[in-house]
Structure 1
């Protein structure tokens, strides 16, 4: 069994994978931040499976370049950067790894909310920049009570549900919008379902984004969504950057409709740091100072989650090639 590990990200040579799957031959193709890994055509012609390890790049070659491959896997939850249709056209399953890092991302989303709404980041910035002059509880602009506030979730999948449980533990009222979720979930969890994004935005004090990126969700949080929002909204995005329109978010924050935002993901990574919204944040302009937190697509990360991700990625391939057991398929509509 030969597996191509495209856009390999780890510093090591797949020692973990080789230890647990000694019978598998791993071919590593490393990528950079701005370029997908170049692939040897001879290697492409020989592999039985392709795994894409990049959170931002697709595999450099089209599915047709892999004549022997029987499965393709995106090593991660999001599958916007795997050619589901292209693999499906060849009746080859494309899969993801949805069951790793769930707690880490949910914790990160709540952590971003707390850093803004309890002022933990603002207080530190005030003290480090102004010394004793910064020693005052009023230095954090977004502090509020969580009990009784409304926590809105866009996408109640594994991670959205985990975030909901955490918010509920703070005595927040949880509402969610997910048009693709089967009916009845709101009744079994005690969370309230709304049937439009505008309704969610108009009721929530905090909105946390947990939906996959697709044509349907690209720029979902845009001008119309922010125009429908309750003034004072705090927005959290730990899903995919392009779901939030940064231009629309900047306008909403300048108007005071959105008073704070925590972004773990950006539409382009890491190049969006020059976007006007982020440039103003980096300059600590008064209208945005202590109202925006950005982390480097790190919500998924912990040493434990990385170990899970690496082994589960191989497990998906091995289960299918060795046992004929297909798991986590994301292009089943093309395989019928």
Structure 2
């Protein structure tokens, strides 16, 4: 167990905020926002049992990253907790239903990293569609004879192609704008948006996922992870994709069956795939797709790119994420202003369950 206490120990008149899985230990950014109002209890754990029970029961709030799961059992121990802030966008590691039953609001940080994620998705598309991996490998292996443009596994014109966005929230919109700037025709599917949404965007809305998959030359996935979306892209969906298309996932790893990606690439049905997120992170043991990529198997050369859940990252984006998280703590705990709440049902908890 590793612990670091910010602020010289818990002071009774301070708010106690537990950080169970600190990605960075210093919390200088957070303390720069909250000052002397908050006493941070900082751990670097992935198992809730590794943190003393008293820390859970006595905290006024929790600032959680992505490695710790705030399960129903953990929530049952939160005697004083008034708020949970997820330092990031996805909140599938927090049992929001259990928090609602206990009257604990959960907030995330949706207002950072949008441009970084959108740029990353388009960078993956360009890397694959323009054969950059193949060209780099050829020249590196043989600068003289590898200095040729022809006979690349994947290289194509993007202009006039169809870009299919699954989900059209803020990130989907940012990615679609960038695809349109490459003279691509943008279509999207998002059943949760109201009728007429497409009129404001100027993009074509399609009525079903199957229609989008059948028409798109590039499919980009950006929806939240839930029971309804878990492994929404599996064998049937990949087979429904337009032959020789490209698939990109910069959203959540468990939206996609990575073994199905392996099978569809191996079969040659789709041309290429780019993944920034994986079902297990780090991906150990390696799934067959990553084994084939790591071993440099010829059939996969130039057809796959993987990055380490890094689409969100830039120094500026990281600073935004940490700053906004700390601001939300002060806004609610001190001023009573709740922002970016993802479980509005918390307000309906009965006093006996709080």
TM-score tier after normalising by the smaller chain length: over 0.9
Q: Name which of structure 1's ranges 273-282 and 257-266 shifts more when overlaid on structure 2.
A: 273-282
Give distance in 1, aligned partners of 2:126 and 2:239.
24
Q: Provide, for residues 257-314 of structure 1, a one-character-per-residue CA deviation record: whole Å limited to 9, x for no partner.
A: 2110010000101125611111111112122111000000000000001100001111
CA gap of 1:177–1:188, structure 2 versus 1, over 3 A, is same
From 176, 187, 192, the counterpart of 2:188: 176
TM-score, structure 2 normalization: 0.90
Q: Secondary structure at the match of 1:3?
A: strand
Give distance in 2, aligned partners of 1:217 and 1:152.
17
Question: How far 1:121 sits from its partner (Å)?
Answer: 2.3
CA contact (8 A) 1:29 1:38 kept: no
1:122 paired with 2:141, answer: no
CA contact (8 A) 1:152 1:201 kept: yes
Q: Name which of structure 1's ranges 131-140 and 200-209 shifts more when overlaid on structure 2.
A: 131-140
Correspondence list, 1:206-217, <5 A: 206-217=218-229
Q: Secondary structure at the match of 1:138?
A: coil
1:277 paired with 2:268, answer: no
CA contact (8 A) 2:138 2:147 kept: yes
Question: How far 1:332 sits from its partner (Å)?
Answer: 1.3
Give distance in 2, aligned partners of 1:4 and 1:92.
15
**Gap runs ≥5 in structure 1:** none
Question: How far 1:25 sits from its partner (Å)?
Answer: 1.2
The equivalent of 1:7 in structure 2 is: 21
Larger radius of gyration: 2
Q: Provide, for residues 200-250 of structure 1, a one-character-per-residue CA deviation record: whole Å limited to 9, x for no partner.
A: 100000011110111111111111211211101100100011111112211
**Gap runs ≥5 in structure 2:** 1-14, 349-354
Q: Secondary structure at the match of 2:58?
A: coil
Correspondence list, 1:8-47, <5 A: 8-10=22-24, 12-22=25-35, 23-31=37-45, 38-47=50-59
CA contact (8 A) 1:160 1:210 kept: yes
Q: Name which of structure 1's ranges 240-249 and 269-278 shifts more when overlaid on structure 2.
A: 269-278
CA contact (8 A) 1:116 1:122 kept: no
Q: Secondary structure at the match of 1:274?
A: coil
**Number of matched residues?**
332
The equivalent of 2:77 in structure 1 is: 65
Q: Secondary structure at the match of 1:168?
A: helix
Correspondence list, 1:1-336, <5 A: 1-10=15-24, 12-22=25-35, 23-31=37-45, 38-54=50-66, 56-59=67-70, 62-138=74-150, 140-272=152-284, 274-336=286-348
TM-score, structure 1 normalization: 0.95
Q: Provide, for residues 118-160 of structure 1, a one-character-per-residue CA deviation record: whole Å limited to 9, x for no partner.
A: 1222211221123322211125321111111111111111111
CA contact (8 A) 2:213 2:219 kept: yes
Give distance in 2, aligned partners of 1:189 and 1:3.
41
CA contact (8 A) 1:236 1:262 kept: yes
Moved over 4 A (4+): none
Q: Report the aligned-residue RMSD.
A: 1.6
CA contact (8 A) 2:22 2:65 kept: yes
CA gap of 1:240–1:37, structure 2 versus 1, over 3 A, is farther
Give distance in 1, aligned partners of 2:211 and 2:50.
46
CA contact (8 A) 1:31 1:37 kept: no
Give distance in 1, aligned partners of 2:151 and 2:335.
59
Give distance in 2, aligned partners of 1:275 and 1:49.
37
CA contact (8 A) 1:149 1:173 kept: yes
CA contact (8 A) 2:33 2:327 kept: no
Give distance in 2, aligned partners of 1:263 and 1:36.
29
Give distance in 2, aligned partners of 1:195 and 1:6.
42
Question: How far 1:31 sits from its partner (Å)?
Answer: 2.8
